[in-house]
Structure 1
Amino acid sequence: MNFERFVSFRYLRAKRKQKFISLISLISVLGVAVGVMALIVVLSVYTGFTEGLRDQIIGINAHILVQQSGGEIDNPNLLKTQVEQVSGVTGATPYIYAQALISSGSGQSSGLAIRGIDPVSAGKVISLDAKMTSGSLKSLTADHAGVPAIVLGKEVAAQLRVQTGRKIRLISPNGPLTPMGVMPKVQTCVVSGIFATGMYEYDSTLGFVSLETARRLAGMEGGSVHGLEVRAADADRAHLASAAIQQRLGPAYSVRDWMQINKNLFAALKLEKIGIFIALDLIILVAALNIISALVMVVMEKNKDIAILKSMGAKTSSIMRIFFYQGAVIGLSGTALGVTLGLSLCTLLKRYKIIELPSNVYPMSTMPVKVVPMDVTVIAISAILITLLATLYPSWKASTVRPAEALTYE
């Protein structure tokens, strides 16, 4: 151990006259640790929430949407074949979107977003089958005594007080025009399945029917559809598959990936994460101020020692390093303790699901936690830099001590 480190570690040991200074140093270590722990836990929870929200969105929705500019797609099977030949695409399925009023025999009614799908190919694109609590997607094409089937979300089914096998009525505004106005279309359907995505917005406003039923409700003719839903091999690289599809189909088609469709939402979440990081960094900054005060008090206490060391030939840089090492030990100890506590708490929250969330407010039932190594690294580096910067002023102050003045009355 060299001279500077030896003296620095001796100053860190508590003596009778320095117990108060040592207490401030301990508080500084705990302050850095609490700040680092809070940052790791909060950012891990926030990342878990963002990832969970993303998984919910792309679980029931496609990675990529393909639409024809200015109209419907008249030959979806041909377009589907072309899209599936693009590298990075694992599946494609046609869809129709419509709005309707849904009512049940109990007198309950609600607005509903209707999505017409092909049950055979839809399973390769959306993960709805895994979210079914009763029935299945294939039941949409099963024979129900001539009555078309519908798959409803858990919340809308509870609101209408219906279960599988019960009949409901869909009322669409896309009816024929008469002298008295638009005649609504009325379609009776049997509930063949119920799904639960965990997102209240989807479970309370969404229903799936076959393409034929959706065409009747939307007033569409022939075999046309509104567009294609496409699944990419890698959701995080869906933009590359989207660009390849756009290049293959040309400007006559509009191709958007899930990141483009939800870019405002995820941009806001990213900005909030940065804001949280900056706000919680203030805890570490407060601890850094404690480090400054502790080291300044040490410098004042050790004025005579510094003067003697300088008289014995210690260089100004050596004096600075003594107090720099002292502050570095406090900062590194607090950072290491904070990282350990933060990762331990994240592990507990992830394993035991301690905190439950209301499903009608959040898209998941328990507190999500996802530790990102890069986030932990950035937090640790920022904490170390802040604490090291806090040692510069006390170290410089110690190096300016003049032996003649400090030892005048000794």
Structure 2
Amino acid sequence: MAGQGWIGFVAIRYFRGRRRNTHSPAPVLAILGIATGVLALTVIIAVMNGFQLGFIESILEISSYHLRIEAFPQDGRGEMLGEKISALPAVKATIPFREIQGIIRGQQRGHHGAVVRGLPPDAMERDAGMAEKLVFERGSFNLEDRFSILLGAELARRLDANIGDWITLVSVSGEDFFSGDEEDGGGADNSRFLVKGIFRSGFYEYDLSWGFINIERSAEISDEDLLLGIKLKNRWQDRAGIEQIRKVLGDPMMLNLHVSSWRDYNRAFFGALRTEKLFMFVLVGLIFIVVGLNIFQAQRRSVLERREEIGLLRAVGATDMAVRLIFVWDGVIIGIAGAGIGMLLGLLIACNIAAFFSILEWVVNFFIGILNVVTSPFLGLEAAGEGFAIFSPTVFYIKEIPSRLIPHEVLVIFLFGLFSALLAAWFASGRVSRTRPAEVLRYE
């Protein structure tokens, strides 16, 4: 046979003919199986990305910064160095800060351990990422007053503190904690602050145990070293940013300064998130193995059913590979159709995840309501006041379900669906090479 254009034509005819055969629903089931796998994996990974990236961004934008320099100079030399670092091409913002480990006591009741960070009054203006993540329920970011303090919402609730209340910070950090007069608290520094703002970060640990005070005031109540937090224009280029900063720190007087990346001081947490995501990817991806086995069995049966046609094609000059590609094209059609349908539905749901879960909750509550109506005369039970919620705010620390789509992951999921069908069809069509035209046509 001249040319290979006939392969696709015959493959489509085989596929259409088998689809019309009501006794062989395997292609339709295979398409539905791949579509289900791609749909499920796309939505699950999108929601997982939403949760994980939300946590990661809260950590990077509020707590750890992209880079940090420890034991930063507090004199004019440090100010000059900070200006040089801020002028680097990779740097977006620089924020000096100081952290204090302490215990906060409320005016009315309660006390709780907290990390209190001293920040300059213009920190929100310098750091757009932090300004985006910190949402103030009451008050605002106001550290102009040296006695102002900003509390996380859960910490304020635990202390029963509100705007205008005075709280006491017991600083237990610093070398002088174990020195001094025991009657004065063993060197601990008690300081009163006025609550000027209550914020939420979206990360429960921060909302429960974080506060912010004026950086000058933090220097008076603690001898902790000054640190410089650095935000990069692209946090993934932290290595290049470190190299640029190290060139600035080339002065021998600055050799004792250490620059660390967010990858270093969050390695365990981010590694755990990466492992969790990988295992979820593998577990949901097992759907493709089941679907691939289904396609494999269907293709093998198709090869056996078409032995006479294969023999005829071989007799008129078709090669083993050409005939095999007919069935491989069959798998490609199934893979593209299934992965395409699943990906379109997955993207539609992932981009409208809140509406999807609202509809799902409505359907579940509808059936629960019917069940309550049917069973209440017999059981004497009244319907529950609160409806079913997949992510109830009373259980989960979220106000809405996050969803993030990463382009290269979407592509990988699509290729998973496509290649599961392609590989199954390739291995199943291996029987074509064992088909002998003379033996098949001898009895025709």
TM-score, length basis structure 1: 0.85
What per-residue deviation string (whole Å, max 9, x for no partner) do you get for residues 52-83 of structure 1?
223212232333211128xx745543443343
Greater displacement, 74-83 / 286-295: 74-83
Q: 1:141: which partner in 2?
A: 144
2:296 to 270, 274, 292: 292
Q: 1:44: which partner in 2?
A: 46
Does the residue aligned with 1:137 lie in a helix, a strand or coil?
coil
Asked if 1:214 is matched to 2:215, the reply is: no
Does the residue aligned with 2:22 lie in a helix, a strand or coil?
helix
Aligned length: 398
Q: 1:248: which partner in 2?
A: 248
Write the distance in 2 (CA, Å) between the matches of 1:232 and 1:280: 35
Asked if 1:326 is matched to 2:309, the reply is: no
Judged with a 3 Å threshold, the aligned counterparts in structure 2 of structure 1 residues 307 and 386 are, in CA distance, closer, same or farther, namely same
Task: Give 1:195 deviation, angstroms.
Answer: 1.3
Q: 1:197: which partner in 2?
A: 201
Write the distance in 2 (CA, Å) between the matches of 1:353 and 1:166: 40
The share of aligned pairs that are identical, in percent, is 28
Name the Cα RMSD after superposition: 3.0
Write the distance in 2 (CA, Å) between the matches of 1:234 and 1:308: 61
Write the distance in 1 (CA, Å) between the matches of 2:394 and 2:204: 5
User: 1:83-232 to 2 correspondence within 5 Å?
Assistant: 83-121=85-123, 123-125=125-127, 127-128=130-131, 131-138=135-142, 140-142=143-145, 148-173=147-172, 174=176, 176-178=179-181, 182-218=186-222, 220=223, 225-232=225-232
Greater displacement, 224-233 / 293-302: 224-233
User: 1:301-316 to 2 correspondence within 5 Å?
Assistant: 301-316=305-320
Judged with a 3 Å threshold, the aligned counterparts in structure 2 of structure 1 residues 333 and 74 are, in CA distance, closer, same or farther, namely same
- The answer as to whether partners of 1:356 and 1:367 remain within 8 angstroms in 2 is no
Task: Give 1:190 deviation, angstroms.
Answer: 1.2
Q: 1:338: which partner in 2?
A: 342
Task: Give 1:101 deviation, angstroms.
Answer: 1.4
Task: Give 1:35 deviation, angstroms.
Answer: 1.4
- The answer as to whether partners of 2:145 and 2:214 remain within 8 angstroms in 1 is no
Write the distance in 1 (CA, Å) between the matches of 2:314 and 2:119: 83
Write the distance in 1 (CA, Å) between the matches of 2:356 and 2:9: 45
Task: Give 1:17 deviation, angstroms.
Answer: 10
Q: 1:379: which partner in 2?
A: 413
Write the distance in 2 (CA, Å) between the matches of 1:93 and 1:403: 78
Q: 2:425: which partner in 1?
A: 391
What per-residue deviation string (whole Å, max 9, x for no partner) do you get for residues 130-160 of structure 1?
522233333x2338xxxx2211111111111
Greater displacement, 252-261 / 289-298: 252-261
User: What letter matches 2:86 in structure 1?
Assistant: E
- The answer as to whether partners of 1:33 and 1:339 remain within 8 angstroms in 2 is yes
- The answer as to whether partners of 2:102 and 2:115 remain within 8 angstroms in 1 is yes
User: What letter matches 2:42 in structure 1?
Assistant: I
Q: 2:366: which partner in 1?
A: none
Q: Which runs of 5+ in 2 are unaligned?
A: 359-388
User: What letter matches 1:335 in structure 2?
Assistant: A
Write the distance in 2 (CA, Å) between the matches of 1:102 and 1:16: 71
Judged with a 3 Å threshold, the aligned counterparts in structure 2 of structure 1 residues 16 and 24 are, in CA distance, closer, same or farther, namely closer
Greater displacement, 9-18 / 229-238: 9-18
Q: 1:5: which partner in 2?
A: 8
Asked if 1:260 is matched to 2:298, the reply is: no
Task: Give 1:350 deviation, angstroms.
Answer: 6.1
Q: Which runs of 5+ in 1 are unaligned?
A: none
1:20 to 10, 23, 26: 23
User: What letter matches 1:34 in structure 2?
Assistant: T
TM-score, length basis structure 2: 0.79
Greater displacement, 367-376 / 188-197: 367-376
User: What letter matches 1:216 in structure 2?
Assistant: E
User: What letter matches 2:56 in structure 1?
Assistant: R
Task: Give 1:204 deviation, angstroms.
Answer: 0.7
User: What letter matches 1:118 in structure 2?
Assistant: P
Q: 1:236: which partner in 2?
A: 236
- The answer as to whether partners of 2:349 and 2:356 remain within 8 angstroms in 1 is no
Task: Give 1:270 deviation, angstroms.
Answer: 2.7
Write the distance in 1 (CA, Å) between the matches of 2:272 and 2:414: 25
Q: 2:384: which partner in 1?
A: none
